[in-house]
Structure 1
Amino acid sequence: MHIVIMGCGRVGSTLAHILEDNGHSVAIIDRDPQAFRRLRAGFRGRRVTGIGFDRDVLIEAGIETAGAFIAVSSGDNSNVISARVARETFGVENVVARIYDPRRAEVYQRLGIPTVATVRWTADQILRRILPEGAEPLWRDPTGTVILAEVVFNTAWIGVTIPRIEQAIAARVAFVNRMGEALLPRPDMVLQEGDILHVIAAERDMDRIHKVLSSIPEED
C-alpha cells in the first residue's frame, strides 16, 4: 500500500520508518525541508516539500494512488483540512488526523475524519500511572463519551459467567486479562481469581458499573 504522511516531526518520521519496514511505500510531506533530516539515511520513500493540503503537493506525493493518508503536523487546522482534501477530493478512504485540542475532536468526528487527540491521550496515560488502579481509562474515544476501563470487582463475582456480568452492569466486557493473556469473552467463560476485567461503556455509566461490581451479585 502507498501511504502519504503530512508532517515529518517525531511522530511522522517514526510512522514513516515503521510503515516502510512493514513493506509499504511512503511519501512524507513537510513545509520545512530541514525536517526530513529526521528520516534515516536509508529511507526510500518520497520527500515532498510543501503544504499538505495543496493539491499539487499531494499529487506529487502520490495521493492519487494512496491507500491511506496520515496528518500529523503541528497544526490542528492543517491536519484536518489536509485529511478532508485527501478524502473528499482524492477519494482516500483511510485517513486520520492528529489534533492537540480535544474540544475539537467531536466536530472533526462529525466531519467523518478519525482523529487522535494526543493531549488527552497523554494526560490519561500519565494519570493511569500515578492514580489508583482503575481511576483513569485505558482508552477514550475522541468525543470523550465512550471509554475502555479496567474495573475492580468483588470476589463474590468469581465463578459468574461473563454474559451474566454484562447483564448486571448493562455494558459490554471488552476482554479479560488472565495471567497476562487477553481473552475475548465467550458465552461459557466464567470470571476466575486473578482475572482483570476490562469494560467498554459510556463514561457516564462507569460510576454505576463500579458500584454494581463492588457489591455482591444479586440472586437470579
Structure 2
Amino acid sequence: MRGDMHIVIMGCGRVGSTLAHILEDNGHSVAIIDRDPQAFRRLRAGFRGRRVTGVGFDRDVLTDAGVESAAAFVAVSSGDNSNIISARVARETFGVDNVVARIYDPRRAEVYQRLGIPTVATVRWTADQILRRILPEGAEPLWRDPTGTVVLAEVAVNPSWIGTRVVDVERRAGVRAAFINRMGEALTITQDSVVQEGDVLHVIAAENDMDRINKALAGAPEVDD
C-alpha cells in the first residue's frame, strides 16, 4: 500500500473518525471535515491530520482540506443530500476520481449510481467496506499458503452482479468462490446462492491472478453471447 496518499473525509462521526485513524495508521495523510467543531473530539489525541470546520460541499472548505491533491474523498455525514452534493463537487469540480458517499435511503442508490457516485447504504456500512473501495490495492489476503502462491482473499463486487448466481459469477469472472460474508455471517455457497446487496465475496486464487480477479469483479459483468 502506498503510504503517500491524501484522503479527505467529510463527517467526523463514528465511521469518519474510525476511517481517519485506520488510514493514518497505514501511513496516509488525512483531512476530516465537520460543521460541528465538537465532533473532532472523537479523534484521538495524537491524530496528526487536518481538522476543517465547515460543510463538505463548500469549495473553500474542500480546498482547505487539500482536496486538490486528494486520492480519494469519502462523505459520511448524517445527511444523504450533503453527502451526495459533496461527492459530486469533489469529483466534478476538483477531479477526484475515487469518491464514496454514504446514504441512509437505499431507494436513492440507483439514481446516485447513474451520477457516477458509488454509494454505501448504512445497512452494509463498515470501515472495512470503505477501505476496500478506496484502497483496493492495499487489501491483505486473509490467508496465504506456505509457498505464497495461493491466497484466500476478500473481493469487492460491482453492484451490477447483484442478482447473479454465484456459480455464474465464478464462470464469467474465471474465479473460485470460497464463501460469502453476508451481514457479518459466513455462508457456504450452493448452486442456488445469489449475490445480494452488501455481500463480500471470498475467493481462493493464485496470488498472481488477484489483479485480474479484482478488475473482473469491480466492473459490470460481460454479456454472454
C-alpha change, 1:81 and 1:88, in structure 2 (3 Å) is same
Change (3 A) 1:166 1:78: closer
TM-score normalised to structure 1 length: 0.61
Identify the residue that residue 86 of structure 2 maps to in structure 1: 82
C-alpha distance in 1, partners of 2:24/2:82? 24
Q: Tell me, in whole angstroms, the C-alpha distance in 1 between the residues paired with 2:95 and 2:190.
A: 37
| Consecutive aligned runs of 4 or more in structure 1 exceeding 3 Å deviation | 139-143, 147-150, 169-176, 198-203
CA RMSD of aligned residues (A): 3.2
Q: Residues 27 and 140 (structure 1 numbering): CA distance in 2 closer, same or farther, change over 3 Å? A: same
Amino acid in the other structure paired with 2:189? L
Provide the residue aligned with 1:116 in structure 2: 120
* Mapped contact 1:3–1:67 kept (Cα < 8 A): yes
Contact 2:73 2:87 in 1 (8 A): yes
2:162 to 126, 146, 155: 146
SS in 2 for 1:53: coil
Using a 3 Å threshold, how does the CA distance of structure 1 residues 52 and 201 change in structure 2: closer, same or farther?
same
Cα distance in 1, alignment partners of residues 122 and 164 from structure 2: 17
Return the offset for 1:177.
Answer: 2.3
Q: Secondary structure at the match of 2:189?
A: strand
Aligned to 2:41: 37
Alignment match of 1:20 (pick from 24, 38, 49): 24
In structure 2, the gaps of 5 or more residues are 126-155, 180-186, 197-225
What letter corresponds to residue 146 of structure 1 in structure 2? I
Q: Compute the TM-score of the two structures, normalised by the length of structure 2.
A: 0.60
Unaligned runs of 5+ in 1: 123-138, 151-164, 179-194, 204-220
Structure 2 Cα separation of the partners of residues 113 and 198 of structure 1: 32
* Bigger radius of gyration among the two: 1
